[in-house]
Structure 1
Amino acid sequence: MTKVLIYIRSISLLIGVLVITIGCNSKDASVGDIAYIGGEIVNPKNKNVILYHTNGEVVDSFVLDANNRFSHKMTDLNSGLYTITHGGEYQLVLLEPNDSVMFRLNTYDFDESLVFTGNGAKKNNYLIKTYLSNEKEADKLVEYSKMEPEAFHDFIEERRQRHLDELNTFLEHNTQSDFFRSILEANINYNNFADKEIYPFAYFGNNKLVHVKDLPERFYAHRKDIDYNAEHLSRFFSYNRFLFSHIDNLAIDSYYEDNEYHSKFDRHSMCYNKTKLDLIDSIITDETIKNNLLKYKARDFISHNHTEAEAEELLNYYLNKSTNEEDKAYLRELVSSLKLLRQGNPLPDLQVVSYDDKDYNLNSMIKRPTIIYFWSSNSKSQYRNSHYKVRSLKNQFDFMDFISINVNDNDDKYWKKIIENYDFSTVNEYKFKDSDKARKTLAVNYLNKAIIVDSKGTILHPNVNIFSSDFAEALEELLKEKHLIK
């Protein structure tokens, strides 16, 4: 089940990267009116705040004042979900004509601390409440997935209807626009539909996934209502969460056309991943949705520890389908970076800064076999879990070193504050000198990625997951193979 949990979380982490802005036109949305937005950020990571328009363009950028506040008047307003970003965190704000929305949040507990006030606050507080509820439900999905298919189907449908009823009750007492209703209904529906699509991977596992064809016919009844080209939802978290899992699921049938009926499912097979790109290309016409899905599905395959030839093959397959030149350049660069990270190559020499503000070259710090792992200040559960996991690994592999690197480019005091608050050891705690360059060089696209090197800084494995259920066993086997232990 641990592998399944990692799969589910990786989907969430991956889609999280997509959620930058959201836009929609509803039948009662008006243009040309004024709205106000402002807020206070407690424990800011830096002094900058950026406001994005519904189409993804920057509306304005602000510098927090002496009280860590900002405000902005918006004219010629298009109703929609705007995005405020600060220090790598983002928050969606629903704005419609005549709204005056203020918020207050603490960066140490970003979503949970968020409170809206003013005209337009009720709908935004309701939106954030549903978002937090979705997060909690997603954390329980592995447990829910132990249910038999019929029971799971009924459970999800009952939960979906309960959430829709709660929304209707809210709307009975709080008059809101059709735009608000459409966004909240989509959030409820697609979040529950996503759980349906993820379920087979959790319930059957890799050895019995072929039995996905035996699920009750009504299990996928929701598919008849899917809009694959919902442009207004193109960057909406629950919509993308659904599409990511849905594409994975649809491609299973093709996989078993090319593999033996009872063979173990391999999510990293070339045919399976090409099928996913084919499906995206065939059923989706909206360029934004299509290009985003193509990009991240291709990246998922390329980032795994494949041969150079396999990475190039999938890259070329992707390049023939995407129309986004920026995405294409990004994936070409990723393939080039991964070539330098092959087993047997030296670890790229990058500069890091220690907790006590000293600069080091990463290579110069390697004295023993070492695991280098990464964390972000924006992912509380990940940085807690990674440090706790490493504590246990240190006891088992006491002849190894473990280097922890923060990947953010926020003020140093924020990075250090997290270490202090959680009482993490300050030994071997670093952050990149140039985070953007280092993340590209080391291909840190997933926070759960770790790199294993020997005492000379030679790469033993460029991409492992310390949370894998068999990680300790696999590590021991690798070290024996390299004659580093007996």
Structure 2
Amino acid sequence: MKLYFTIACILLTLLSCKNDSNETAIDFAYLGGEIINPNTNYIVLSKNETIIDTVKLDGKNRFLYKFENLNEGLYTFRHGGEYQLILLEPQDSLLLRLNTLDFDESLVFSGKGDKVNNYFINEFLINEEEEKFVVKLCQLDGATFQKRVDSLKTIKEQALTDFKTKYNPSDLFLKIAAANIDFAYYTSKEVFPFMHYGKNKAAILKSVPDNFYDYRKTINYNDTFLSSHHNYNKFLRHNISTLSLENHDKHEANACYDKNSLCFNLDRLTLIDSLISNPTIKDDLLYHFTMGYVSKSKNIENNNALLKSYLEKSKSEKGKKVMTHYATSLNYLKEGSKIPDIKIENYNHQIFNIGSQIDAPTVLCFWSHNYFEHFKESHFKLKELKRKYPEVKFISINIDNYDSEKSKKLLVDNGFHSVNEFKFNAPEESSQLLAIYPMTKAILVDKNKKIVNSNTNIFSVNFEEQLLGLINR
């Protein structure tokens, strides 16, 4: 509260000076706030994927920034690996407060513009819970499912009407809020065949009511206004998958759906290329699906085929460079290959070659300050696995480019011992060599430093079976 009072006074002073002057411009806004448990000493502000500025935190982890010549709309606020969208309109003086250990749940706004932004963050959290409920609803037949999600949409629309009556928000807010509701609803319908317990996804898709996907007639696949909007992009990813399933079924009739099928994934990239012309939206979708496939596939030939399709369709030179490096690294990590020479550092500041620490069946795991929940859950899981499999060595590596004392403090504060805990000596290069994506990835290495599995997950249902195979080699 003391922070908000201090910054609020500053903002009021600045706004008063503006009103007392002869200036008539109103296209500005202020954004300030406090970051508790910051991951870095700065925040990044952007709009439509274009970085506006990097703003340093002061000694008390606070910041204050003025947007000159404001282009009203959605802006992205990033800190560490987390982000949220913020709506800024002329003469807003918005304050935020958040704790990085509970990023979205702790985020709260005050000041001018707070009502609409608190509405959005609350809606975001509600949608996260609703998604879990929708998964359960997906086990119903198509007609019943449609009635249930229709009722959820009606509740949200009534809440928006009540908010409009009470606060009289801008047309811009109402446009975005309505899009939020619509695209969350559309996404629920797009995921239905994939979340349904039935194995024949194409048959489930054909069983829905005739009007189930009528909204597709109104979709703009090249909507620049919503191109950085979470719900819109989420919808596009699921919609592309559902449409690809329909297309795939035409030339693979009655084939059991396999999300890891090369044919299905090639169909998906082809559909994106034919359906979407906006380069930003197209490149984002092409990258998302290609990375999703390559990161899980161990078939080098299939990976190369999908990579070729991606490179032919994408216009993003940065994306193509990253994807090529990633696929190349995966190829070097095939089963039987020796673990790459990578330098790691322990919390006594001693540097080792990673291979020197592998003298038994070994599991390599990774973590980052930016994924706090994964950090905690993975370390609790490792505690359990260490008790059950004492003959296996579990090595946990922090991939962040931060001072080692920060990582050590996080381990100590959460009750995790620093035995077999390391940091990469060269984080970016090492992460690239080991193709660390997603963060849940783990690598199994035998006592001879040979890779047994370059892409597994300690939370996988068959992980312990993989461990037994590693022990018995």
- Distance of 2:136 and 2:406 partners within structure 1: 35
Q: How does 1:33-72 map to 2 (within 5 A)?
A: 33-52=27-46, 54-72=47-65
Quote how far apart the aligned CAs of 1:474 are: 4.4
Amino acid at match of 1:49: I
- Alpha-carbon distance change, 360 to 140 in structure 1, aligned in 2, over 3 angstroms: farther
Deviates more, 1:80-89 or 1:363-372: 80-89
Higher RCO, 1 vs 2 (CA within 8 Å, ≥6 residues apart): 1
The normalised TM-score by structure 1 is: 0.86
Consecutive unaligned residues of structure 2, counting only runs of 5 or more, are 1-24
Quote how far apart the aligned CAs of 1:230 are: 1.2
Tell me the alpha carbon deviations over residues 14-69 of structure 1, each in whole angstroms, 9 at most, x when there is no partner: xxxxxxxxxxxxxxxxx9611111111122223222222x2333322222222221
Quote how far apart the aligned CAs of 1:148 are: 3.4
Match of 1:7 in 2: none
Match of 1:159 in 2: 152
Q: How does 1:142-181 map to 2 (within 5 A)?
A: 142-181=135-174
Quote how far apart the aligned CAs of 1:381 are: 3.3
Q: How does 1:104-115 map to 2 (within 5 A)?
A: 104-115=97-108
Identity across matched positions, percent: 38
- Alpha-carbon distance change, 248 to 41 in structure 1, aligned in 2, over 3 angstroms: same
Amino acid at match of 1:77: L
Tell me the alpha carbon deviations over residues 175-232 of structure 1, each in whole angstroms, 9 at most, x when there is no partner: 2111111112212221232222222222135455543222222332332332211111
Quote how far apart the aligned CAs of 1:442 are: 1.2
Q: Say whether residues 1:437 and 2:429 are aligned partners.
A: yes
The normalised TM-score by structure 2 is: 0.88
Q: Say whether residues 1:133 and 2:129 are aligned partners.
A: no
Question: SS where residue 231 of structure 2 aligns?
Answer: helix
Q: 1:268 aligns with which of 260, 268, 281?
A: 260
- Alpha-carbon distance change, 389 to 177 in structure 1, aligned in 2, over 3 angstroms: same
Quote how far apart the aligned CAs of 1:392 are: 3.6
Q: 2:308 aligns with which of 303, 306, 316?
A: 316
Question: SS where residue 234 of structure 2 aligns?
Answer: helix
- Distance of 2:378 and 2:214 partners within structure 1: 39
Q: How many residues align?
A: 449
Quote how far apart the aligned CAs of 1:312 are: 1.7
Amino acid at match of 2:460: S
Q: How does 1:328-367 map to 2 (within 5 A)?
A: 328-367=320-359
Contact 1:104 1:114 (8 Å CA) reproduced: yes
Tell me the alpha carbon deviations over residues 364-406 of structure 1, each in whole angstroms, 9 at most, x when there is no partner: 1112111212233233433333233333433443321222223
Q: Say whether residues 1:379 and 2:371 are aligned partners.
A: yes
- Distance of 2:201 and 2:85 partners within structure 1: 40
Query: Which of the pair has more CA radius of gyration?
Result: 2
- Alpha-carbon distance change, 183 to 330 in structure 1, aligned in 2, over 3 angstroms: same
Question: SS where residue 320 of structure 1 aligns?
Answer: helix
Quote how far apart the aligned CAs of 1:417 are: 4.2
- Distance of 1:229 and 1:336 partners within structure 2: 32
Quote how far apart the aligned CAs of 1:444 are: 1.3
- Alpha-carbon distance change, 121 to 347 in structure 1, aligned in 2, over 3 angstroms: same
- Alpha-carbon distance change, 143 to 351 in structure 1, aligned in 2, over 3 angstroms: farther
- Distance of 1:101 and 1:305 partners within structure 2: 45
Contact 2:193 2:201 (8 Å CA) reproduced: no
Question: SS where residue 28 of structure 2 aligns?
Answer: strand
Contact 2:202 2:246 (8 Å CA) reproduced: no
Consecutive unaligned residues of structure 1, counting only runs of 5 or more, are 1-30
- Distance of 2:328 and 2:151 partners within structure 1: 48
- Distance of 1:372 and 1:435 partners within structure 2: 15
Q: 1:189 aligns with which of 182, 194, 206?
A: 182
C-alpha RMSD of the superposition: 2.3
Amino acid at match of 1:164: E
Match of 1:389 in 2: 381
- Distance of 1:197 and 1:376 partners within structure 2: 32
Amino acid at match of 1:219: F
Match of 2:457 in 1: 465
Q: Say whether residues 1:239 and 2:239 are aligned partners.
A: no
Contact 1:408 1:435 (8 Å CA) reproduced: yes
Contact 2:74 2:88 (8 Å CA) reproduced: yes
Quote how far apart the aligned CAs of 1:314 are: 1.3
Tell me the alpha carbon deviations over residues 145-198 of structure 1, each in whole angstroms, 9 at most, x when there is no partner: 333333322221211221121112111111211111111221222123222222
- Alpha-carbon distance change, 331 to 41 in structure 1, aligned in 2, over 3 angstroms: same
- Distance of 1:153 and 1:380 partners within structure 2: 36
Quote how far apart the aligned CAs of 1:76 are: 0.8
Contact 2:104 2:125 (8 Å CA) reproduced: yes
Tell me the alpha carbon deviations over residues 300-337 of structure 1, each in whole angstroms, 9 at most, x when there is no partner: 22222333222221111111111111111111111211
Contact 1:33 1:76 (8 Å CA) reproduced: yes
Q: Say whether residues 1:99 and 2:89 are aligned partners.
A: no
- Alpha-carbon distance change, 425 to 303 in structure 1, aligned in 2, over 3 angstroms: same
Question: SS where residue 112 of structure 1 aligns?
Answer: helix
Amino acid at match of 1:406: N
Contact 1:84 1:91 (8 Å CA) reproduced: yes
Q: 1:227 aligns with which of 195, 202, 220?
A: 220
